[in-house]
Structure 1
Amino acid sequence: MKALALALAAGISLVAFSAAAETIKVGVTPGPHAQILEKVKEEAAKKGLDIKVIEFSDYVVPNAALSSGDIEANSFQHQPYLDNQIADRGYKIVPVGTTVNFPIGVYSTKYKKFEDIPAGSSIGIPNDPTNGGRVLLLLADKGIIKLKDGVGVKASVVDVVENPKKLKFVEIDAAQLPRSLPDLAAAGINTNYAKEAGLDPVKDPILREDPKGPYVNVIAVRAQDKDKPWVKTFVETYHSPETRTFILETFKGAVLPSW
């Protein structure tokens, strides 16, 4: 009878745990975002949250998939990019927690210093407004170009008011910039794509962004879901000491926790 009672109790506990467990699909881009989320998935499972990691190869589809309900959350973009997507496409998507920062870098296979780049050279920048502007802000911060006053994170090529080296800015899909490097003097490349291409985001850039800035990445969900219990569990798990340690030990300064 005791054995039967224990078996029944165990069965009831298992049913209760199964009923409490919830599955969510979270969109990421390949590389660090995906690697970090696999760690978050491992920790979230201990809290009854089952995360399915869905990888997307570009920056456009994850928000479309989230808006349409194909996934429950995404973790791949910084706040200025999300703001731009919401303004352009009317998505009812909101940030619910910060994640990491990837200081963007300018890379070159031809030159060891930016000052060695000849006048009139072509510089690749991402063709999406926020990441392209991010590279321009980096160049402006280093005194290479000057931008119109007050443009901030919305900077674009038309906002360049001083360009002493007469650099030509070539707008290319962010994921394609690493393979375009041989055809360019240099290119501003997002950290995840740099790592995928075998570049070292700490040692290889000839210019690197200050990690303290507006480009901290976020977890985004549909506005209608922001108060659901799984959102709190997901964010808390991402912000756990285990996740922080994983990021610091795995990426060694190329990716920085925001919390």
Structure 2
Amino acid sequence: MRNKLILSVASLAAAVSLTACGASTTGSTSSAASSAASGEVAVVKVGANPVPHAKVLEYIDENLAKDAGIDLEITEFDDYQTPNIALSEGSIDANYYMHEPFFNDQVKTKGYKFEHGAGVHIEPYAAFSESYKTAEEIPEGATIAITNDPGNQPRALKMLETAGLLQNIEDDSAALTLTDEQNPKKLKFEENQPEILVQVAKDPKVDLAIINGNYILQAGMSTKDAVIVESTEDNPYANFLAWRTGEQTDATKKLDELLHSDEVKKFIEETWPNGDVIPAA
């Protein structure tokens, strides 16, 4: 079963209301736990971004969940903030979209009490341009559209460093405070909400837009058309299942196991054969 919520950072107040009275349908964390304990089918309410996360969950729900004794209620969220609000408020049992640096930033800055499983897959970050075909062509003083999310911005900056456009980027580097030594090409950065960077990429004033993998897929784009693509070797940005601290049920444990199954790995490889989504090692 799937519910779709089209929410943005601008509607956080509404999101809190939704978590109380309508983002979910039936069941609860406690009922899921008791159902699993009794051998009945246990409902797991899980939030996810539409692509690839919800698609992976749909595959599990349609092909693997029944034999595992669980039934997934999937709610889609189109931004990176409201899935954690929903999890914290208790309208979902788990969410599936975060990687560890983003998770750590959310826990630190928002005070969430969350735990998480091992990484399931990586969606490479990529940079797109309407004007240039290679990183070498990016001129001095070029305008770069980048996420305003502190959990992902260093990731984007490190990708630019690997491409030779920046240097000496640290884990806590920020686009708007780079030194002249770190930014020798004097690139100009414009911060944007990650969900709108696909549209910003078409702005003629923008020379390069760095876009999260899930939004690349959601827009029907592919990393094969990107100017720069993040390496997936030793990549720390694998997405995983998260739940409230101390509240992982038998049902969410089963879901986490299924996310790491050979069947799901094969589904990912066959659904995104060009490498837009890669199973974590």
Q: TM-score, normalised by structure 2?
A: 0.81
Q: What fraction of aligned residue pairs are identical, expressed as a percent?
A: 37
5+ long unaligned stretches in structure 2: 1-34
> Unpaired segments of 5 or more residues in structure 1?
1-14
Task: State the 1:19 CA deviation.
Answer: 5.6
Matching of residues 141-180 of structure 1 within 5 Å: 141-147=162-168, 151-152=170-171, 154-157=172-175, 158-160=177-179, 161-180=181-200
Q: Supply the distance in 1 between the matched residues of 2:130 and 2:152 (Cα, whole angstroms).
A: 21
Which residue, 222, 236, 259 being the options, matches 2:244? 222
Match of 1:110 in 2: 131
1:181 alignment partner in structure 2 = 201
Q: Residues 164-207 of structure 1, C-alpha deviation per residue, up to 9 Å, x if partnerless?
A: 22110111111100111122111110111112222112x11111
Max radius of gyration: which structure? Answer: 1
Q: Alpha-carbon deviation of 1:143?
A: 2.2
CA distance in 2, matches of 1:104, 1:229: 33
**Could you list the per-position Cα deviations for residues 209-238 of structure 1 after superposition, in whole angstroms to 9, with x for gaps in the alignment?**
110211111110001213x21122111111
How far the C-alpha of 1:248 sits from its partner, in A, is: 0.1
Aligned to 2:99: 78
**Preserved contact between residue 178 and residue 189 of structure 1 (Cα < 8 Å):** yes
What number of residue pairs does the alignment pair up? 240
- Runs ≥4 residues deviating over 2 A: 15-19, 159-162
Return closer, same or farther for 1:61/1:17 CA change in 2, 3 Å cut-off.
Answer: closer
Instruction: From 89, 93, 97, give the equivalent of 2:118.
Output: 97
SS in 2 for 1:58: coil
Q: C-alpha offsets along residues 52-71 of structure 1, whole Å, 9 cap, x if unaligned? A: 11001100011111011010
Whether 2:252 is the aligned partner of 1:234: answer: no
Residues 16, 104 of structure 1: CA spacing in aligned structure 2 closer, same or farther, 3 A cutoff? closer
Cα separation, 2, equivalents of 1:244 and 1:19: 27
- Contact 2:135-2:163 within 8 A present in 1 as well: no
RMSD value, Cα: 1.9
Conserved? CA contact 1:147–1:159, under 8 Å? no
Matches within 5 A, 1:48-67: 48-67=69-88
Deviations, residues 116-151 of structure 1 (Å, cap 9, x unaligned): 122211111111012121110111122211235xx3
Counterpart check, 1:246 vs 2:267: yes
- Any conservation in 1 of the 2:129–2:226 contact (CA below 8 Å)? yes
- State the SS of the aligned residue for 2:112: coil
Structure 2 vs 1, CA of residues 233 and 111 (structure 1 numbering), >3 Å: closer, same or farther? same
| Alpha-carbon distance in structure 1 between the residues aligned to 2:190 and 2:154 | 13
Q: Which amino acid aligns with 2:71?
A: D
Whole-Å separation in 2 of the counterparts to 1:25 and 1:231: 9
Q: Which amino acid aligns with 1:257?
A: P
Query: Given residue 220 of structure 1, which amino acid in structure 2 is its aligned partner?
Result: A
Which of 207, 214, 222 is matched with 1:192 structurally?
A: 214
Is 1:134 the equivalent of 2:155? Answer: yes
Partner of 1:28: 48
Give the drift of 1:159: 3.9
Q: Which has the higher helix share?
A: 1
Q: Give the aligned partner of residue 124 of structure 1.
A: 145
